[in-house]
Chains A and B, each alone.
Chain A
């Protein structure tokens, strides 16, 4: 069974440029999460989807960050414009609500903003 797939794995951009990350969850998982992980820190939730509905986006900086999960399957996280402080790893995870809430993570997308 394929795991959570994320792309790109690495992205280097200059500040003020836009960037987008893509995530394809495990097949059948209806809940999808985007987490932000800074160096040496634990991940922090940005947004959680149940199917196509964003049910928790309280930590998403909405002035520059946006996300979508149009058909309740894959998802895109966008930053526009990127700032130096956005350099981090963006992790996607998925779970099936009926499966004890266990989360499975992708490899992450490492963003460097110059």
Chain B
């Protein structure tokens, strides 16, 4: 059974810092990995999707990497801003099954 773990559960940093969020998964047979952002009381917004054949994806100040062999992904946020405060969730799509398995998320707070 695929399990996804995100560490830390919560993170608080001052504005302007670069930071890394971690995601690990137990089964490397994944189709792709997706990072989401969730604001309080809102749905999930897709940030980045990495295919299993890719190593990384970039969008603006966000960079996500994928290492299938070690079962790890990181989300790098450059020059953090208070507007980046949210919960960040990673999820993997299992090969052969079109469904996402989620981690529990990292609650990020950027302090002005």
Instruction: Report A's interface with B, CB cutoff 8 A.
Output: 4, 6, 31, 33, 40-45, 48, 50, 56, 91, 93, 95, 97, 100-108, 110
Chain B residues at the A interface, C-beta cutoff of 8 Å: 4, 31-32, 34, 36, 41-46, 49, 51, 89, 91, 93, 97-100, 102-105
Cα(A105)–Cα(B93), bound, Å: 15
A93 CA / B89 CA spacing, docked (Å): 15
B41 contacts across to A, CB distance below 8 A: 110
> Which residues from chain B contact A42 at a C-beta distance below 8 Å?
4, 89, 91, 102-105
> Roughly how many angstroms separate A103 CA and B99 CA in the complex, as a whole number?
9
Question: Which listed residue (A48, A102, A106) contacts B43, Cβ 8 A?
Answer: A106
Contacts of B45 in A (CB 8 A): 105
Minimum distance in angstroms from B33 CB to a CB of chain A = 10
Which B residue sits closest to A103, measured CB to CB?
B100
CA gap between A3 and B13 in the complex, in Å: 32
**Residues of chain B lying within 8 A (CB to CB) of residue A102:** 32, 34, 46, 49
- For B31, B32, B102, the residue with the greatest tally of chain A CB atoms inside 10 Å of its CB is B102
